[in-house]
Amino acid sequence: MIVLNRDVLNRLMVWHLVAGALVGLLVLQPVNDLIYWLQHDTDAATAWGYVWQRLSASVVGPEWRKGLFYAGVGALVGALTAAFSRRVLTQQRRMVQLTMELERDLIALIAKGESRRAEFKSSFRWDVKADKINKALEHPVLKSLAAFLNSDGGTLLIGVSDDGTILGLARDYQTLKKKDRDGFEQAIMTAVSSRMGTDVCANLQVVFHAAAGDDVCRIIVNPSPRPVYLSQGKETEFYVRTGTSTRQLNVQEAIEYIQSRWPK
């Protein structure tokens, strides 16, 4: 797995800045000088002689400001490519994490039961016991997601009871305007966005599995780079994962936890 810690990112940025500066000085400037030689009469007999003369003057001669300018332009381009590379590496890391999760057999995952990084929920909106829609059931699902986000990540299965029985999502689908996988994923992401923040959605990957003649939703949760609060009416709640359960922290506990996990 690609490990992106601060040292790696710093080295990546330095390498791109240095490489960009060299490209600016040794490529962009000579190309510009070559174009100038082709368009204007100069004292140099050959293009190479003129380019070398200008390059020498900008590196160790009186035109050092010109060399500094081209090196700066190249460094700027290097910084942009570093930012692009960082984004690509981040996406690759997420793809690797997703692939690793998907390679785990769903039945085997369920057989292992709930753990610090795995939890089961019977449904998202359908009350299995009352046999009717109950939107209040969204809150326990969001609590679990918030806890995984504020901890070390994990997997939430929806459509599976606490004892591992596959219940499926057919009843949940009927509570949605769009009664299929896309509608279910949209409902999940809308709830997360409105109650935890739109940026949080980037830390979630939603995957559906066909099991026991029905669908099971697997939400793979990556740890959040910031504290995630769950809004509940006028209140905000803070959850973490402890053992096989989700725990709400009080204000003092939350402050201490946040200072420890996300130090400034």
User: Which pLDDT band, with edges at 50, 70 and 90, does 104 fall under?
Assistant: low
d(CA 101, CA 20): 38
**Spatial contact of 187 and 152, defined as CB atoms under 8 Å apart:** no
Residue with tokens 């499926």, as numbered in its chain = 168
The most confident of 32-41, 57-66, 68-77, 200-209, by mean pLDDT? 200-209
Architecture of the domain made up of 106-261: 2-Layer Sandwich (3.30)
**Spatial contact of 123 and 213, defined as CB atoms under 8 Å apart:** no
pLDDT digits (tens, 9 = 90+) for 219-240: 999 999 999 999 998 899 999 9
Cα four-point dihedral sign 224, 155, 201, 102: positive
Mean pLDDT of the chain: 88
Residue with tokens 């997360």, as numbered in its chain = 192
